[in-house]
A and B are shown apart, each in its own frame.
Chain A
Amino acid sequence: MPDSRSSCRPAYRAASRFGAMALVMGLATGCSAWHHTPEQKMAHELRALQQAVPEHVTDPARAARLSEAVRGLDADLTEFRREFTTMREDLRAANARPDATRAELEQLIDGYDTRRKALRTRVLARHAEMIAATTADEWSALAKHERKALSAAME
Chain B
Amino acid sequence: MRRRNQRGQALILIFLGTLLLGGAAGGAHGLFSAHQRHELRKHIEATVTDPVRREALDLTLEAMEREAAHRSSEQAAVEKELFDAMARHDTAPVVFDQLTSRADASNSASNRTVMDLRFQLREQLTDTQWRSAFASKVKSVPATVRE
Whether A154 sits at the interface, judged by CB under 8 Å, is: yes
Q: Which of A130-155 contact B (CB under 8 A)?
A: 131, 134-136, 139-140, 143-144, 146-147, 150-151, 153-155
Q: Are A147 and B86 touching (Cβ within 8 A)?
A: yes
Q: Are A154 and B19 touching (Cβ within 8 A)?
A: yes
Most buried by B among A92, A105, A128, A134: A92
What residues of A have a CB within 8 angstroms of the CB of B76 in the complex?
Answer: none
Q: Which of B92-147 contact A (CB under 8 A)?
A: 93, 96, 100, 104, 107, 111, 115, 118-119, 122, 127, 130-131, 134-135, 138-139, 141, 143-146
Q: Are B145 and A154 touching (Cβ within 8 A)?
A: yes
Whether A113 sits at the interface, judged by CB under 8 Å, is: yes
Whether B89 sits at the interface, judged by CB under 8 Å, is: yes
Most buried by B among A88, A112, A113: A88
Closest Cβ neighbor of B141 among chain A residues: A92
What residues of B have a CB within 8 angstroms of the CB of A105 in the complex?
Answer: 28, 31, 115, 118
Q: Are B31 and A147 touching (Cβ within 8 A)?
A: no
- Which listed residue, A89, A112, A139, A143, touches B143 by the CB 8 Å rule? A89
- Which A residues lie at the B interface, using CB under 8 A? 38, 77, 80-81, 84-85, 87-89, 91-93, 95-96, 98-99, 102, 105-106, 109, 112-113, 116-117, 119-120, 123-124, 127-128, 131, 134-136, 139-140, 143-144, 146-147, 150-151, 153-155
Which 7 A-B residue pairings sit nearest by Cβ, starting from the closest? Answer: A96-B134, A88-B143, A136-B89, A98-B130, A98-B127, A143-B87, A139-B89
Give 29 A-B contacts (CB < 8 Å), ordered by A residue: A77-B19, A92-B134, A92-B138, A92-B139, A95-B31, A95-B32, A95-B118, A95-B134, A96-B131, A96-B138, A98-B122, A98-B130, A102-B115, A109-B30, A113-B26, A113-B107, A120-B100, A123-B20, A124-B96, A128-B93, A134-B89, A135-B89, A144-B87, A146-B86, A147-B83, A151-B16, A154-B16, A154-B23, A155-B146
Excluding A84-B18, A95-B31, 6 further A-B contacts by CB distance (< 8 Å) are A38-B144, A96-B138, A105-B115, A113-B27, A124-B20, A124-B100
